[in-house]
Amino acid sequence: MPHFPITAVLLLLLFLIAAASSSAVPSETAALRAFKSAVKPASIPPSSCLATWNFSADPCAAPRITHFTCGVTCAGDRVVQLTLDSQGYSGTLTPLISRLSQLVTLDVGENDFHGPIPSSIASLPNLRNLILRVNSFSGALPPSIAAAKSLNTLDLARNSISGPLPDLSPLTALTRLDLSYNKLTGLLPRLPPNLNELALKSNSLSGSLTKASFSELTHLMVIELAENSLSGTIPPWLFLLPSLQQIDLAKNGITSLSVAAPNSNSELVAVDLSNNKLEGTLPEEFAEYAALRSLSLSYNKLRGPIPWQYSRKGSSLRRLYLDGNYLNGSPPQGLFSGGGQVSGSLGDNCLRKCPSASELCLKSQKPASICQQAYGGKPKPKSKSKS
C-alpha cells in the first residue's frame, strides 16, 4: 500500500474541498438550464449575458472567462443572484426558478418576457428583490406572493398584469412596491406595514381610500396613485401619515377633499390632486404645512377665493397650480411679490385683477358668461341687432 506524505494528503483534501465549493448544486444547474430553455434562442444576441450560459462549464465555477461571464452570481455553490442585461430576451419565466433556493435577487427587467408570473416564486425563502419591470407579463399577481416574507423590493411596473391586488400585508419586509402601468382593477387591499414607496400609477383601481389599507404605514414616504379610477373623498388622516413626503392622486375621479392641520414635524413636500372632480373651496390648511413646496389642484371644480394664507410671508410654497377651476375674487398680492418665487398658473378661472405681467397669470381667465353660470347667475342675452 503506497504511503503519501501528510502534506500531500492535506493538499489533496484542500483541493477537493475547493472543487466541491465551486460547483453549483445539480438541481440549481437544472433550474438555470430550464430558465435559458424558456427563452427563444433567436432573441439571445451573441454578445449578451445569456449567450455565455454554456453548460459544459459549471455556473458557479471560477474563473469565468468564457462561460457564465454575467447574469449569475454565486455564493459558494449556490446561486444568489440572477440579473439579466436588457437585450430584448423573449420567453417565459420557468416555474423551476423556485429550485434556486438561496436566490436573493431576480432581475429580468426591460426585456420581453411574457406569460404568467409563476406562483412558485413565492417559495423562495431568501428572495429580497423581485424586479420584472418593463416586460409583457400578464395574468393575475399570484396571491401566493404574500408568502415571500423576505421581499424588500417588488417592481413589476409596465407589464400587463390584471385583476385585483391580493392582500399584501404579510410582506412585512417590503419597503418598495411598484406596480405602475399595468391593468390592475378593484379596491386597494391592506398594504405592507413597512412600505416607503407605493407606486400604482396608471391602472384601473377603483373605490375610495380607506384607513384599513394604510393602517400602520408609519414609514410611507411616497404615494403614487395617479391615473386610476379612484373616487370619493381624500380623507384628512392621509396627510398626517408621519413620514409622508409626496402624494400624487392626479387623474382620478375623486370628488371631495378634507385636509387636517399638520403635525409639527410634517415632511409633506409635494401634493398633486389635479384632474379630478374636486368640489368646494381651497383648503386653508395646506398653507400650514411648513415643508410644502409644490401644490397642484388644477382642473377640478373648486370655487371661491384663493386663501390669503397661500401667500403668507415665510411660506415654503414655490410651485402653485390652480388653473382650470372656478376660483373667483382677487388673488392674494403676496403671490406676486418676492421676486417671482412662486411659479405655476392661476389661469382659466374666474379671478379678477390677475396681473398679466406675472407668470402665474399668463393663461387667460374664463369668459364672464361661464363664470356667471358657475355661480348660479344667468348670462345676459345677446342683444339683437335692428334690421
- Cα–Cα nearest to 131, from 164, 106, 99: 106
Q: How do strand 78-83 and strand 72-75 relate by DSSP bridges?
A: antiparallel
H or E element in which residue 28 lies = helix 26-37
Report CA dihedral (91, 104, 158, 252) to the nearest 10 degrees.
150
Q: In angstroms, rounded to a whole number, what is the distance separating the alpha carbons of residues 330 and 355?
A: 10
Q: What is the pLDDT of residue 324?
A: 98
Do 272 and 250 form a contact (C-beta atoms < 8 A)? yes
Q: What is the mean pLDDT of residues 261-288?
A: 96
- Cα–Cα nearest to 69, from 103, 29, 89, 61: 61
For 222-244, write each residue's pLDDT tens digit.
Answer: 999 999 999 999 999 999 999 99
For residue 75, pLDDT over 80 is answered with yes
Q: What is the mean pLDDT of residues 54-65?
A: 88
Q: What is the pLDDT of residue 258?
A: 96
pTM exceeds 0.85 for this model: yes
Per-residue DSSP letter, 217: -
- Cα–Cα nearest to 274, from 299, 243, 257, 254: 299
DSSP 118-167: PGGGGG-TT--EEE--SSEEEEEPPGGGGG-TT-SEEE--SSEEEEEPP-
Q: Which residues of 29-53 are buried (b: 16+ CB within 10 A; e: fewer)?
A: bebbeebbebbeeebbeeebbbebb
Q: In angstroms, rounded to a whole number, what is the distance separating the alpha carbons of residues 351 and 330?
A: 6
Q: In angstroms, rounded to a whole number, what is the distance separating the alpha carbons of residues 245 and 269?
A: 5
Q: What is the pLDDT of residue 175?
A: 98
- Cα–Cα nearest to 248, from 232, 265, 227: 227
Mean pLDDT, the chain, whole residue set: 91
Q: What is the pLDDT of residue 41?
A: 97
For 6-50, write each residue's pLDDT tens digit.
Answer: 554 443 343 334 434 456 789 999 999 999 999 999 999 999 999
Sign of CA dihedral 197, 194, 262, 200: positive
Do 306 and 281 form a contact (C-beta atoms < 8 A)? no
* pLDDT-above-70 percentage for the chain: 91
Q: What angle do CA 221, 318, 230 make, to 5 degrees?
A: 45
Please provide residue 115's backbone torsions phi and psi, each rounded to the nearest 5 degrees.
85, -175
Q: What is the pLDDT of residue 66?
A: 84
Do 259 and 302 form a contact (C-beta atoms < 8 A)? no
Report CA dihedral (207, 208, 212, 218) to the nearest 10 degrees.
130
| Residue 209 burial (CB count, 10 A) | 22
Q: What is the mean pLDDT of residues 323-332?
A: 96
For 160-219, write each residue's pLDDT tens digit.
Answer: 999 999 999 999 999 999 999 999 999 999 999 999 999 999 999 999 999 999 988 999
